[in-house]
């Protein structure tokens, strides 16, 4: 069993240790989001995270008024398809998203991006790594995009204190300050509803949030799905279907937000398009036959390094 709680066959352990660029830079030999140092207040102070977060959250509406995470989406799809202009836009936008410069613009969300994580990894973060205090608050994406007040974001460390001052994001009439077990339980309930868990740099390399949302409400997932901008990276895993156990009920197909699962009438079974799979593992909750499991992305031919 690896440190995130997912059991890996011995033959896959070495393969699974291959790293994406952020793991190489900030993972200390493992997955970036498993590095305890990235959650500490000392690191947040080193990168002036409190100042960044205060400026960002007091201007949060600016990021979403006719925008997605600070980016104007009007005509963006058309522009991204233009050979030269599209490449320029992608280079500029992703440089902002992944910026590690000192003078980052918090209102533009420079240096703020995340990665899809399965339930086990997200629970490991909340149970062992997240700095306290831990709170749940209204998801800004769902509120701004759909007008829905849904407390599905779990924030921690220095971000928690800042959000508490922005009382409009604090859920009314329910307990919002969570201990670790309560946070783990809340996350599991959200995951079983079909919400995808993501862990976030804000700003890189400081980690202070595990969100549960869905596309197209989630600003990060929408920019990735609609425009292939890496606001959210694919997870470290992909789904595997045991054909002998699959009964072709199609419950998992309805659960997938990335159109990675498809039912084949000819064989009366579900198949997975690995190029579309984000490795969230949410589809597993829908399967009553235990036919779905996660395997390391790096162990699957053609998927290594494809985040």
Task: State how far the alpha carbon of 22 is from the alpha carbons of 29, 127, 171, 184, 203, in Å.
Answer: 11, 22, 33, 25, 13
Q: Which residue, of 196, 217, 233, is where some domain finishes?
A: 233
Domain presence at residue 2:
no
Regarding whether 208 and 120 lie in a shared domain, the answer is: yes
The owner of tokens 């980690």 is 207
Q: Cα separation of 284 and 40, whole Å?
A: 32
Residues 193-209 have pLDDT tens digits of 999 999 999 999 999 99
Regarding whether 72 and 49 lie in a shared domain, the answer is: yes
Regarding whether 290 and 229 lie in a shared domain, the answer is: no
Domain presence at residue 4:
no
**Polymer length of the chain:** 307
SS3 for 137? strand
Regarding whether 282 and 197 lie in a shared domain, the answer is: no
pTM comes to: 0.89
Owning domain of residue 293: 237-299
Domain presence at residue 304:
no
Q: Cα separation of 237 and 116, whole Å?
A: 9
Residues 140-197 have pLDDT tens digits of 999 988 889 999 999 999 999 999 999 999 999 999 999 999 999 999 999 999 999 9
Mean pLDDT lowest among 59-73, 74-88, 169-183: 59-73
Q: How many domains does the chain have?
A: 2
SS3 sequence of 175-219: CCEECHHHHHHHHHHHHHHCCEEEEEECCCCCEEEEEEECCCCCH
Regarding whether 221 and 138 lie in a shared domain, the answer is: yes
- The pLDDT mean for the chain works out to 90
């Amino acid at each position: 069993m690896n440190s995130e709680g997912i059991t890996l066959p011995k033959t896959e352990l070495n393969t699974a240790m291959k790293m994406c660029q952020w793991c190489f830079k900030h993972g200390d030999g493992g997955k970036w989001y498993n590095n305890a140092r990235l959650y500490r207040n000392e690191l947040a102070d080193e990168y002036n995270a409190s100042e960044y977060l205060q400026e960002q959250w007091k201007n949060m509406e600016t990021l979403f008024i006719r925008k997605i995470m600070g980016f104007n989406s009007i005509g963006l799809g058309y522009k991204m398809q233009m050979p030269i202009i599209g490449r320029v836009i992608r280079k500029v936008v992703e440089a902002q998203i992944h910026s590690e410069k000192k003078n980052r613009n918090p209102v533009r969300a420079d240096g703020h991006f995340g990665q899809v994580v399965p339930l086990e990894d997200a629970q490991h973060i909340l149970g062992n790594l997240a700095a306290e205090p831990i709170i749940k608050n209204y998801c800004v994406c769902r509120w701004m995009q759909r007008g829905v007040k849904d407390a599905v974001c779990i924030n921690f460390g220095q971000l928690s204190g800042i959000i508490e001052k922005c009382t409009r994001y604090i859920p009314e009439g329910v307990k919002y300050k969570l201990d670790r077990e309560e946070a783990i339980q809340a996350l599991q309930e959200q995951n079983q509803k079909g919400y995808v868990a993501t862990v976030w740099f804000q700003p890189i390399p400081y980690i202070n949030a595990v969100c549960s949302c869905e596309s197209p409400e989630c600003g990060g997932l929408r920019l990735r799905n609609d425009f292939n901008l890496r606001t959210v990276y694919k997870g470290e895993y992909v789904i595997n279907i045991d054909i002998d156990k699959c009964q072709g009920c199609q419950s998992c197909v309805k659960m997938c937000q990335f159109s990675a699962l498809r039912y084949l009438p000819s064989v009366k079974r579900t198949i997975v398009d690995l190029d579309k799979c984000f490795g969230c593992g949410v589809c597993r909750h829908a399967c009553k036959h235990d036919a779905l499991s996660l395997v390391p992305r790096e162990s699957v031919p053609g998927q290594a390094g494809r985040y």
